[in-house]
Amino acid sequence: MSRVKWVALSLAILVVLLLLIAPGALAHVDPVATGDAHLQGPSGSHLFGTDLLGRDVFSRTVYGARPVLIASFLGVLLATAAGVAIGVLGGVAPRRLNAVVMRMVDVFLALPVLLIALILIATAGSGVRSIVLAIGIAFTPGFARVVESSVRRLRTAEYVEAARVFGSTTLRTSWRHLLPNLLTEVVVLGSSAIGWGVLTATTLSFLGLGVRLPAPDWGSDLAAGATNLADAWWLSTFPGLAIMATILLANFSGDHLMRVLDPRAGIRLGRSFRTLATHLSRHGGDTAYESA
């Protein structure tokens, strides 16, 4: 990947982190503070304009990132963990057990993501926590399916067999060979799922199932601005653009993360990531040679 793209990507990720941790650094106006300037278009003092109650849209957009990002990150994390657990179980299980586990996964796969989410929120109440749970449960079967087939494929890889031949125990083989290779695939899968997570989270909050007003949130702000769309396009458009940008970023990163983690890529930065990844999975590593 070219230098320019690398720099752009890093900057974008930095912005995302800021939005998550310290939105105050980017926006200096209180997002819930009402004012006198109602429904004003974008101007010098209000970069993205103001809404019905005079609140600064730019600030709301900046602060509105948090619930969305938290919900999607945590939700995908949850789904990844559960999906990996189930997928690994299914992948190493004998045929009968595998069939049972995967059928159960299929059942959940049959239910659309949003339906599961809606039902869950109806029972557990709205809010970020519910959205996290909803995404976690809804995305798990997809993850489980992919992980299961990966595990089954990796288990029969020739280098795994080679390890058996010189007497490596199952535990050791799993740790040294299966897990690192599985990790790469899972990381790539997870990062591309974040895009979907953002979409789902914002859809749910659009429907009013996320944080309650007046707290800022992209989805709910977008919904609130829908009625005034013709006169005050900025109310919905900026949150919408923010959502789009985030999803694009997530997909982009997912695509390129793969190349970084794959030893066949060989970019310099990739090397250090690689050693990091192998160290993380090696846990007290056992190298015959110290890395130069």
Partner 1 sequence: MSLLEVTGLRTEIDTPQGRIRPVDGVSFSVDAGETLGVVGESGSGKTMTGMSIMRLLPPGGSIAAGSIRLDGHELTSLDEPAMRRLRGSELAMIFQDPMTSLNPVRTIGSQLREAYRIHVDGSRAAATARATEVLGLVGMPRPRERLDDYPHQLSGGMRQRVMIALGLMCEPKLLIADEPTTALDVSIQAQILTLIDDLKAQLSMGVLLITHDMGVIAEYADRVAVMYGGQVVEQSGVRELFEAPRHRYTEALLAAMPTLELDRNAELATIPGSPPKLTDLVPGCRFAPRCAFAQDDCRRTDPALTGGGHLHACFHPADDSGSTMAVKASRTFAKEPRGADALVQLFDVHKRFKVRSKRPFAAKRAVQAVSGVTLTIAAGETLGIVGESGCGKTTLGRMLVGLERPTNGSVSFDGRDLSAQTRTGFRKRRRDLQMMFQDSAAALDPRMTVAALIAEPLVAQGVGTRRERRRAVRELLAAVGLPLEAAERYPHEFSGGQRQRIAMARALALRPKVIVADEPVSALDVSVQAQILNLMRSLQERYGQTYVVISHDLSLLKYLADRIGVMYLGRLVELGAGEDVYNAPRHPYTAGLIEAIPAPESAKNRAAATRSTGLGGELPSAIDPPSGCHFRTRCPLATERCAAEIPVLQPSEGLHAVACHHPLTTQVLTPAR
Partner 2 sequence: MARFVLRRLGSAIPVVFGITLIAFVLVHVVPGDPAKVILYGANASPEQIATLREQLGLDDPLWRQYVDFADNLLHGNLGTSFLTQNSVAHELLSRAPSTLILTAASMLVAVLVGVPLGLVAGMRPGSVLDTVARWISFAGVAVPYFFLALLLVLLFSVKLHLLSAIDDGTAKSLILPAVSLGWGYAAILTRLVRGRVIDELRSDYVKSARARGSGELRVLLRHVLRNSSVPAVTTIGLQFGNILTGAAITEVIFGRAGLGSFLATSITSKNIPVVQGAVVVIGIAYVVINLGVDLVVGAIDPRTRQEAAA
- Output b/e per residue, 238-277; b: 16+ Cβ within 10 A: bbbebbeebbebbebbbebbbebbeeebeeeebeeebeeb
Binds 47: which of partner 1, partner 2, none (CB < 5-8 Å by kind): none
Binding residue for partner 1 (CB under 8 A) from 10, 43, 169, 272? 169
Q: Which stretch binds partner 1 (CB under 8 A): 7-15, 19-27, 97-105, 157-165?
A: 157-165
Cis peptide before 67 (omega within 30 of 0): no
**Phi-psi bin for 237: left (phi > 0), alpha (psi -120 to 50), beta?**
alpha
**Footprint on residues 255-284 left by partner 1 (CB under 8 A):** 263-264, 274, 278
Residue type, 209: L
Question: Does residue number 159 form part of the binding site for partner 1 (CB under 8 A)?
Answer: yes
| Dist CA 106 CA 205 (whole Å) | 27
| Dist CA 59 CA 23 (whole Å) | 9
Cis peptide before 112 (omega within 30 of 0): no
Question: Does residue number 291 form part of the binding site for partner 1 (CB under 8 A)?
Answer: yes
Find the shortest distance in angstroms from Cβ 183 to partner 1.
10
Q: Estimate to the nearest angstrom the gap between the alpha carbon of 57 and the chain centroid.
A: 25
CB closer to partner 1, 2 vs 166: 166
| Dist CA 13 CA 190 (whole Å) | 16
| Dist CA 183 CA 258 (whole Å) | 11
As to burial, measured by CB atoms within 10 angstroms (0-12 exposed, 13-18 middle, 19+ buried), residue 164 is exposed
Binds 286: which of partner 1, partner 2, none (CB < 5-8 Å by kind): partner 1
CB closer to partner 2, 85 vs 109: 109
| Dist CA 65 CA 75 (whole Å) | 15
Structure tokens at 48: 């993205």
CB closer to partner 1, 6 vs 159: 159
**Footprint on residues 216-275 left by partner 2 (CB under 8 A):** 222-223, 226, 229-230, 233, 236-237, 240, 243-245, 247-248, 251
Structure tokens at 244: 């789009």
CB closer to partner 1, 44 vs 289: 289
Contact (CB, 8 A) for 198 and 254? no
**Footprint on residues 118-177 left by partner 2 (CB under 8 A):** 118-119, 122-123
**Footprint on residues 199-218 left by partner 2 (CB under 8 A):** 199, 202-203, 206-207
Other CB atoms within a 10 A radius of the CB of residue 2 amount to: 7
CB closer to partner 2, 123 vs 291: 123
Q: Which stretch binds partner 2 (CB under 8 A): 115-123, 160-168, 273-281, 283-291?
A: 115-123
Binding residue for partner 2 (CB under 8 A) from 17, 107, 157, 269? 107
Q: Which stretch binds partner 2 (CB under 8 A): 11-19, 109-117, 150-158, 284-292?
A: 109-117
Binding residue for partner 2 (CB under 8 A) from 11, 13, 33, 115? 115
One character per residue 63-92, x = contact with partner 2 (rule: CB under 8 A): ------------------------------
- The residues binding partner 1 (CB under 8 A) are 157-159, 161-169, 172, 176-177, 180-181, 263-264, 274, 278, 286-289, 291-292
